[in-house]
Structure 1
């Protein structure tokens, strides 16, 4: 049975009560304090202090300080009156038990309310964090969509510029061909005039010689006879095709078997160098350029041949996987084909590459 502590001291004012309780050599860690508006208990085994307070106190704002072998209470009164004593006297055990049970129920109810308040606050924090994450993801998605839209607009402008350049080049070529044809026609006309003038001169000379004598006429009449010059041939071009050969020597002078063996060895060596990308075996040199493949993919995209454009971008990425525009263009193709997951994946890769480039360019950011 615990020992009741009676050697305590207290003093009061109209608004507060100051209570000092000795710990009697007990460790601070073993001290348990329980306080409600009508009940105060301090348990530090084997000692126990219990007080049924004379009047209600504000237990939420009251304070306790444990240290230096003493427990000091500062209890604030709910009504500013002077107490006759610290604890109520003359009450039986049943009333004290009811006061204890009521205090315990109040403490439990208060603890439950505090737990519910903490849970509600935690839910609010989680809701706020979820809203923040959703906003961040929405901003990120909008940023990616803006980047894709900007790239699409840029690609469209580049395509329009290229078409305009091709149109102007065709017009310029057509004008050049017409000018060249007019120059040739003019040159042919001038040659015709010269030949006609030369023929007329010969005709006049033959007539002059005919007036000098009949003998002369018999000798030179046929020689200086006016000649009918045929019309020039029409302008045309003859196309000649040659069989492509690796070796410059003529086929009749070459050793076909030795050449085929040499070409076979060169092809095997090239395949050994490109074992990581088998698709490069039969490509031309310009087709191994990622920029050329990117332009090819853009042209196929403009003609709505999205699968062929994806193949071009795939090969370009295998050659160089550090160009973000390749991933964005392929994402646009996937978007047209409704492959949304692949479009998001390629857009994310392009974003990571551009973010890495920005860090390399501006390391302090």
Structure 2
């Protein structure tokens, strides 16, 4: 049981009350003060001081000062009046307990309100800080956009200036070519006039000389024509006939051994297709199409059903084992299932098929380029 402190002193004015409670050698850190409108308690074990005030006080503005082994309370009255006594007269234990419980409830509600007020203030501060950050980011974004726009306009102006310089350079080159061509025409005309004058003087001397003069004039004119711009070539067509072959490439550019090997493998694949897949009769028409099976496998792969996708690619490869994309898709499924050796094997097969296809199609590209060269 705590010991009740009774040797306290108190004084009052019309607006405030002053209470002095001795601590009796107790450490200041051990004192626990609790104050409400009608209740004041100081707990400093093993002592206890509590008083049930006869009138309400303003507990929010009231003060407590601890020092020199004493606690001095400055309590401000809510109503201006002089109290006859400090504590409430005629208080029994039940009433004391009710006042204590009521004071505790009031303190809890006040603490809850203070906590909510702090949380609301913190939310407002966070909201304000977020708005400030958004404004700063918006300003930075606008600044970056302005910089980009300025750089774009600058680059556009530089490009337009470069285009203008190029256009002026082309115009000057064209004018220079025209002037040079006019000078050449003038020189040719002057040479022709000189030659005509010389030929006329020679005709008056002798017909033979005139004939030679005409021949020399024709030779000179032909040379002048050769120096001038030549006439465009006449349009024609060249017909080329090739021996019909399975591969549309010229025989001198083909690789006969590889082509025969490829034909042999194709024949074996067709024979295996007819013998190794007896269940083809049970499949639908679209299920016999490797492209349809490839699309089906791609859809299953997108839904992460890798085993079903592998089954679709397997059937498509059995129908046509010369499509490299089937092996690559199946390798991707094995990679998802951590079957690394099978993924490497399928990738190697796809590489070999694409390498063989490139080796067989390169002569065809040369043949088409030759046809375009001759205008066929």
Q: Under TM normalisation by the shorter chain, which class is it?
A: 0.5 to 0.7
8 Å CA contact 1:203, 1:226 repeated in 2? no
SS in 1 for 2:11: strand
Q: Are 1:233 and 2:224 counterparts? A: yes
Once the two structures are superposed, what CA deviation does each residue of 1:238-285 show, in whole Å capped at 9, x if it has no partner?
9xxxxxxxxxxxxxxxxxxxxxxxxxxxxxxxxxxxxxxxxxxxxxxx
Instruction: Please tell me whether the aligned partners of residues 202 and 226 of structure 1 are also in contact (alpha carbons under 8 angstroms).
Output: no
Shift of 1:130: 2.1
How do residues 1-365 of structure 1 correspond to structure 2 at under 5 angstroms? 1-202=1-202, 206=205, 222=208, 227-228=213-214, 229-230=217-218, 231=221, 233-234=224-225, 235-236=227-228
Deviation at 1:164, TM superposition (A): 2.4
CA distance in 1, matches of 2:146, 2:97: 73
> Shift in Å at residue 49 of structure 1?
0.7
Give the whole-Å Cα distance in 2 for the aligned partners of 1:112 and 1:225. 131
Contact 2:14 2:80 in 1 (8 A): yes
Taking the aligned partners of 1:150 and 1:109, their CA distance within structure 2 comes to 60
Q: CA RMSD in A?
A: 2.3
3-state secondary structure, aligned to 1:56: coil
* Of 133-142 and 90-99, the range deviating more from structure 2: 133-142
The unaligned stretches of length 5 or more in structure 2 are 231-376
* Aligned CA distance change for structure 1 residues 118 and 225 (closer, same or farther; 3 Å): closer
Partners of 1:237 and 1:43 lie apart in 2 by 121
Displacement of 1:170: 1.8
Q: Residues of 1 paired with 2:157 and 2:210: CA distance?
A: 71
CA contact (8 A) 2:41 2:48 kept: yes
What's the CA shift for 1:155?
3.1
Tell me how many residue pairs correspond in the alignment.
Answer: 224
Q: Give yes or no for contact 2:53–2:87 (8 Å, CA) kept in 1.
A: yes
User: 2 CA distance for matches of 1:221 and 1:172?
Assistant: 50
**C-alpha distance after superposition, 1:52-107 (max 9, x if no partner):** 11211111111111122111111111111111121122221111111111111111
What's 1:267 paired with? none
Conservation of the 8 A alpha-carbon contact between 2:33 and 2:41: yes
Counterpart CA distance in 2 for 1:142 and 1:15 is 61
Unaligned runs of 5+ in 1: 207-219, 239-365
Contact 1:5 1:49 survives alignment (8 Å): yes
1:200–1:226 CA contact under 8 A, matched in 2: no
SS in 2 for 1:88: coil
* TM-score, normalised relative to structure 2: 0.55
Instruction: Give the TM-score, by structure 1 length.
Output: 0.57
Tell me the alpha carbon deviations over residues 162-185 of structure 1, each in whole angstroms, 9 at most, x when there is no partner: 332222222211111000000111
- Tell me if the contact between 2:199 and 2:210 (Cα under 8 Å) persists in the aligned partners: no
Structure 1 or 2: larger helix share?
2
